[in-house]
Structure 1
Amino acid sequence: MDTFSSYFAAPPASAYRWDNLKQSVSPSVRTHLQNVYTNLAVMLSISAAGAYLDMTRMLPVLRGGSFSLFTTFASLLAFAFTPPTPQNHITRKYLLYAFALSKGLSLGPLIQSTMYINPSNVFIALLSAALLFGSFSASALLTPRRDALYIGGLLSSAVTIMMGMSIVNLFLRNSSLFSAELYLGLLVFAGYVIFDTQVILAKAELGNRDYLAHSMELYVDLVAIFVRILIILQKKEADKERERRKKNEKRR
C-alpha cells in the first residue's frame, strides 16, 4: 500500500495535480516501471527462499516466529526512515530485501500447514494471486485515465472496517465474521493493486522514480492477496473435514 514512499523526497503536495497527468506512458516512465516490476520479482524470489528456509530448517536461526516478526518490522521501519538518496540506495535495497526475506520466513509456517492438509492449495493460491495481481495491475497500466486514484479514501475506510472486524472477532470468535473479513480483505487489496499501480504511474510522471519504495507497495499488496487466498482455501479444507467427521459420526 502507498504508505511510506510519499513521505520521502517527493515533489511538493501542490505538484500532484492528477488532472494534468499524461494519459500515455513516456519511455522514461516505462523504464521506471520495468525497474519496479523487476525488483518486485527479486523480492518475491527472496521471500520464496525465506519460506523454504523456514520449512526445511536448513538454518535454525532463520525461522518464522518472533524473530522473523521483529526483523520484518525493524527492516521495514529502517527502510521507511532512510531517505532515498543516491548515497543510501544500496542500504535501502538491502533493507528492502531483508524485509522480503523476513516476510518469507513468517509465511513459512502457514505454507507448511497448508501443504500438510493439501499441497495443491499452495499452487492454487500462488497461481490465483499471480493472475489476480497481473490482471488488476495490467488494467491499471492500460487505463488511459487516472480515475482509480480517487478510490484511495474508500479503500482506507475499508481497511479501517477490517481492523474493527478483527478486534471484535478477537472476543466473538465467529467463523462467519472471520470469513467476511477474509473476503473483504481480498477485495480491498485487489483494489489497492489498481490504486497503487496508478499512484506509481502518477508519481513517476511527476518525477518520483523511487522504484524501491514503489515495488515495496506492490509487494505488500500481492503478498496480502496470496495470504488471504491461502487461508480461504485452508478454511474450506477444514470445513470439508469437519463435515466429513459429522457424517461419519451420524452413521455410527
Structure 2
Amino acid sequence: MNVFDRNINIDALFRFSQISHSTQVHLKNVYSSLAVCMFVAAAGSYVHVVTRLLQGGILSVIGSLAMMFWLAMTPHNPETEKKRLGILAGFAFLTGVGLGPTLDFVIAVNPSIIMTAFLGTSVIFICFTLSALYAKRRSYLFLGGTLMSGLSILFLMSLMNIFFGSLMLFKAHMYLGLIVMCGFVLFDTQLIIEKAENGDKDYVWTRRKKKSKT
C-alpha cells in the first residue's frame, strides 16, 4: 500500500470530541480576547517606546493593579460584559506601557531579541495549549501543587541571588522558570476547560489570569 495515496482529513485535527460544544465556544472567547489584549498591550508598549506620550513606571504598575482589582470587583453578567472587556483592555494597555522600560533596555542590547522572544513564546504557548486540549480531561490538573512549589523555589532563588549574585543561579532560575511556565500553560488550559464544563463561563477574568502568565 502506498502511504502517499491515503486521504488525510485535516478537519480531524480541529475536533475535540472530549470537550462539549459550549466549552469550545467558551475557549474561542478566551483566546479571541487573548489575541485582542496582545494587540492592546503592544499598542501600550508602542506608546512608551516610540511616541513617549506615556512612560512606564510606578504609575503604570499602580494603574494596571487598579484595573485588575476593578475587574475582580465587577460582577460577571451579560449587562457588564462590555464594561469588563473595557477594563480588561485598560489592564492590557497599562501592562504594555509598564513593559516599556524593559523594551528600551532590550532594544539597546539587541532589537532582534524582541522578535525572537515573541516567536518563541508563541510557539511554546500554542504547542502546550494544543497538548492540553488533545490530552485526556483532567490529566494535567495534578500539576497544580508541583507548579506552586516551583514558584516558591523560584522566589527563594531570586531572593538568594540578590545576595550571592551568582551567574549559575541566575541561569538555573531562568530555565526552571521556563519549565514552570510551560507547566502552567498545560494546567491552566485544562483548568479552564474543567471550570467551563462545570458552568463557569467567565472568559474575561479567565483571560486576565492567562495573560498574567504569558
Q: What TM-score range do you get, normalising by the shorter chain? A: 0.7 to 0.9
CA root-mean-square deviation: 1.6
Q: Which contiguous aligned blocks of 4+ residues in structure 1 show a shift greater than 6 angstroms?
A: none
Deviation at 1:144, TM superposition (A): 2.3
Equivalent residue number for residue 73 of structure 2: 81
Give me the whole-angstrom Cα distance separating, in 1, the residues matched to 2:153 and 2:73: 28
Gap change, CA 1:54 and 1:201, over 3 Å in 2? same
Deviation at 1:121, TM superposition (A): 1.3
What amino acid is aligned across from residue 57 of structure 1 in structure 2?
T
Choose the corresponding residue for 1:132, options 124, 130, 138. Answer: 124
Give me the whole-angstrom Cα distance separating, in 2, the residues matched to 1:169 and 1:110: 20
Pair 1:170-2:170 in alignment: no
Percent identity (aligned): 38
Equivalent residue number for residue 44 of structure 1: 38
Equivalent residue number for residue 114 of structure 1: 106
Q: Which runs of 5+ in 1 are unaligned?
A: 1-21, 223-252
Conserved 8 A contact 2:60-2:98: yes
Deviation at 1:194, TM superposition (A): 0.5
Deviation at 1:172, TM superposition (A): 2.1
Deviation at 1:103, TM superposition (A): 0.9
Range 42-51 or range 84-93, more displaced? 84-93
Pair 1:103-2:69 in alignment: no
Q: TM-score, normalised by structure 2?
A: 0.87
Pair 1:57-2:19 in alignment: no
Equivalent residue number for residue 153 of structure 1: 145
Count of residue pairs the alignment pairs up = 199
Equivalent residue number for residue 230 of structure 1: none
Q: Any idea what the Cα deviations from partners look like across 1:102-143, whole Å, max 9, x if unmatched?
A: 110111121222122211111111000000000000110111
What amino acid is aligned across from residue 176 of structure 2 in structure 1?
L
Deviation at 1:200, TM superposition (A): 0.3
Conserved 8 A contact 1:23-1:144: no
The alignment partner of 1:149 has SS state of coil
Equivalent residue number for residue 141 of structure 1: 133
The alignment partner of 1:84 has SS state of coil
Choose the corresponding residue for 2:84, options 89, 92, 102. Answer: 92
Range 92-101 or range 76-85, more displaced? 76-85
The alignment partner of 1:170 has SS state of helix
Choose the corresponding residue for 2:188, options 189, 196, 199. Answer: 196
Deviation at 1:91, TM superposition (A): 2.6
Conserved 8 A contact 1:190-1:221: no
Equivalent residue number for residue 26 of structure 2: 32
Q: Which runs of 5+ in 2 are unaligned?
A: 1-15
Deviation at 1:23, TM superposition (A): 6.9
